[in-house]
Structures are given as structure tokens and as C-alpha cells.
Amino acid sequence: MSEHTTHRKIALVTGANKGIGRAAAGQLAALGMTVLVGARDPRRGEEAAAALRAAGGDAHAVTLDVTDAATASTVAAQVEEQFGHLDVLVNNAGITGSGQVAPQDALDQVPSSVDLDMVRSVFETNVFGVIAVTNAMLPLLRRSPAPRIVNVSSHAGSLAIAADPDGPLAALPTSAAYTPSKVALNALTVQYANELRKDGFLVNAVAPGYVDTDSNDHNGYLTPAQGAAVVVRMATLGADGPTGGFVGEDGPVPW
């Protein structure tokens, strides 16, 4: 390989067959990256990857269930064999636990009556799944000259916003599953950022905003493309970019 050969940037996006993940995958592909479309359902993943290829992107579907560490190991082996490295990891896959976050559908998360099994299942995807996938991909990310990890969080994960009785989230039902899972994800992001800072990694959490997706029964006012913009911005930070941050479309979000 010539020293003038351009480094081929490889990005993996989990939960990329729809919503914010798919939009982020499309935007990363449009920037010239090879994008791996992670999806639990192979058919849906392939449909999304095919659509990205039809739009001119270099996209490949990978079967990845973040709650099944074996699938993360399999994908890591595939990336190792095909590309030898990974530059960007977007941990986007997430569940609400209620099916939707819309007020009428989230009453089952009220702390005093919540089902513990539901809380566990939400943390399994939104927190433990992020650890499993990140750790499976770390050896590949270490081979990148500019490794970036973006964890897709939510404004609901801001303790400062949630604690404000007159804040923007005050009208939402209380949540013992989804909201705490995003708080934990933010804390986890900071810990990875601290561990990996010396190795040149930039690790950040993002709050895409109230995006029109399945999770809120399409009540959001931002398009998936608008929500994905901050994801892509943090996935493509320069060497002087921040790490250990929590940012939204309008800048830093309070912890």
C-alpha cells in the first residue's frame, strides 16, 4: 500500500435500519465512509443497506443484536476480515420499554408501580448492550488514526432538565426505566471517554431532540435527518474536538 493511499473510513451504526440510525448511516455514507448497517433483523438491515447503496453510498448490512454479545463478536470478526479496522462506532440502538415514549403509553414506567423485568430489559439494550458492542469493537477502533464513539442518548437523560418542575420534560410521566437508562448511558460515556482519552479516542453522548420516530408514535417535530445531524457531527470531529461531552442540536446539554 502506498503512503499516499487514502485511509478508508469505516463506520458501524447499531439499530440502523430505521429512524435516526438509518439517517445517520445515510449521512455518513454521503461523506464517503463505508457504513455497516447494524440491525437485529437481517432482512430489514439489507433493505436499508440496499437503499443507501441505491443513493450512491457504500453500505453493508450486518446482523447485530446488542443484547446478544455473540452477534457483536461475529460482526467484529467480519469487520476484521473485510476492513481490518473501524473508525466510527455509533451506539444508536435503543428501546423505550413502553413501545413508545408518548405520554399515554409511558404510564407503565411510573417508579412506584414499574415492572422490574421491563426495567431490566431496557437497561439490557440501552446500557449493557452499549458496553458489549463497544468492547467488541475497541480492538478495531484502536487501529484507526481518529477513533470516534457516539452514544445516542436523550434530553431525558439530563438530571438537570428532569429535576426542573417547570422544565420542558415536566409534562411527561415519570420514568423508572427509559430515563434512568439514558442517565446511566451518559455516565458510561464519560467513563469510556476518561479511559480512552490518552489513546486519541473522542467519546461523546448526543441528544438528537424530539425526532419523528416509531418510539414516539411519530409525534416528534424533527425529521430523522435533522436528529442525525448532531450524531454525524460528533462522529466526524477533528482531533481538537471534545470528549466526554453531552451535546444536542443547539450545543451542550446539562448533565
Please identify every residue annotated as catalytic. 178, 182
Q: Are 105 and 217 in contact (CB under 8 A)?
A: yes
Distance (Å, whole) CA 228 – CA 28: 10
Return the C-alpha cell found at 249.
442540536
Distance (Å, whole) CA 220 – CA 97: 18
Sheet strands (E) in the chain: 10-13, 34-39, 58-63, 88-91, 148-152, 202-207, 246-248, 251-252
3-class secondary-structure state, position 177: coil
Q: Are 231 and 90 in contact (CB under 8 A)?
A: yes
Distance (Å, whole) CA 245 – CA 188: 11
Sheet strands (E) in 159-228: 202-207
- The residue among 234, 251, 149, 245 whose CA lies nearest residue 200 is 149
